[in-house]
């Protein structure tokens, strides 16, 4: 009986190992959202919901495992201006739930993740640039040649990140982000700590400016950037295509 039990135990173990190798592992995506809920003038801000919800749902539909983190952890603030389209809010309910309990960024390691995605919202301009934990993760993704993506103000997180040779991550890279013209158009240029397009250009980026409010996504190797909320879907599609090709 003992021999029979041992035999079946070994059989189950062998089957489990075979199944693990036979089934492709799901891709793992880390999404990092802002914790900042105020601008310099005290006006409320936060995450721009579309830039998180659309990619999140697309990643889940693609079969990816997604974890959501933020600098402070816990509930992530959502910019009320991004909630105006009520029908979409209902469609995005599954994603919104994930914003209630985000992981604190300093508790996140890069091991196991295949891509990192930075949604925007004006809040990112205040807690993404030179954030030591975000920079640590981005530098690690660069070193291991993993996918890095950011949309709208999300590329603020690229400020401070470095290539292996110590130069700015965006130096010589073709990128885009929320443009200076768009910032002026929404009349928030005077309350931003800096103008994102200008800063990326200063760090040596080959900045591609599309028409205001229209989709514009740039892919340079494994770096993906989108200009504005309208670019969220195309940026997520680019991530999915890159990961599918690996």
Low-confidence ranges of the chain (pLDDT < 70): 1-24, 85-87
Give the pLDDT score at 209: 98
* pLDDT given at position 19: 35
Q: Which two tokens stand for residue 196?
A: 């994102």
pLDDT tens digits for range 95-121:
999 999 999 999 999 999 999 999 999
- Whether 1 is in a domain gets the answer no
User: Residue 121 sits in a domain of what CATH number?
Assistant: 3.40.50.880
Those residues with Cβ within 8 angstroms of residue 133's Cβ, 6 or more apart along the chain or in another chain: 71, 105, 106, 108
Q: What is the pLDDT of residue 246?
A: 79
Look at residue 73 in the predicted model and tell me its pLDDT.
98
| Structure tokens, 168 | 């700015």
Residue 166: give the domain boundaries.
Answer: 25-244
Per the annotation, the verdict on 183 as an active-site residue is yes
* Residue 85, pLDDT score: 64
Q: Identify whether 88 is a catalytic site residue.
A: no
| 10 is a domain residue | no
Q: What is the pTM of this model?
A: 0.90
What number of residues does the chain have? 246
Task: Indicate whether 13 belongs to any domain.
Answer: no
Answer yes or no: is 4 within a domain.
no
The residue annotated as part of the active site, out of 50, 98, 182, 183, is 183
pLDDT at 127: 98
Q: Is 153 a catalytic residue?
A: yes
Sign of the CA dihedral 176, 173, 241, 131? negative
Domain count, the chain: 1
């Amino acid at each position: 009986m003992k021999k029979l039990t041992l035999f079946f135990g070994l059989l189950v173990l062998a089957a489990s190992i075979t199944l693990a190798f036979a089934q492709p592992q799901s891709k793992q995506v880390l999404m990092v959202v802002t914790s900042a809920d105020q601008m310099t003038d005290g006006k409320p801000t936060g995450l721009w919901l579309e830039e998180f919800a659309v990619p999140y749902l697309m990643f889940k539909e693609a079969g990816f495992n997604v974890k959501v983190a933020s600098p402070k952890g816990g509930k992530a603030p959502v910019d009320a201006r991004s909630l105006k389209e009520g029908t979409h809010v209902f469609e995005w309910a599954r994603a919104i739930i994930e914003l209630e309990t985000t992981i604190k960024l300093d508790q996140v390691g890069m091991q196991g993740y295949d891509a990192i995605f930075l949604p925007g919202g004006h809040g990112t301009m205040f807690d993404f640039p030179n954030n030591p934990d975000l920079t640590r993760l981005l530098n690690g993704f660069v070193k291991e040649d993993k996918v890095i993506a950011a949309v709208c103000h999300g590329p603020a997180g690229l400020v401070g990140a470095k290539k292996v040779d110590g130069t700015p991550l965006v130096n010589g890279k073709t990128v885009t982000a929320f443009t200076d013209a768009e910032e002026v158009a929404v009349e928030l240029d005077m309350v931003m700590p800096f103008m994102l397009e200008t800063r990326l250009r200063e760090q040596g980026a080959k900045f591609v400016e599309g028409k205001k409010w229209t989709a514009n996504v740039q892919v340079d190797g494994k770096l993906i950037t989108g200009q504005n909320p309208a670019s969220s879907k195309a940026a997520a599609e680019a991530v999915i295509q890159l990961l599918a090709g690996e």
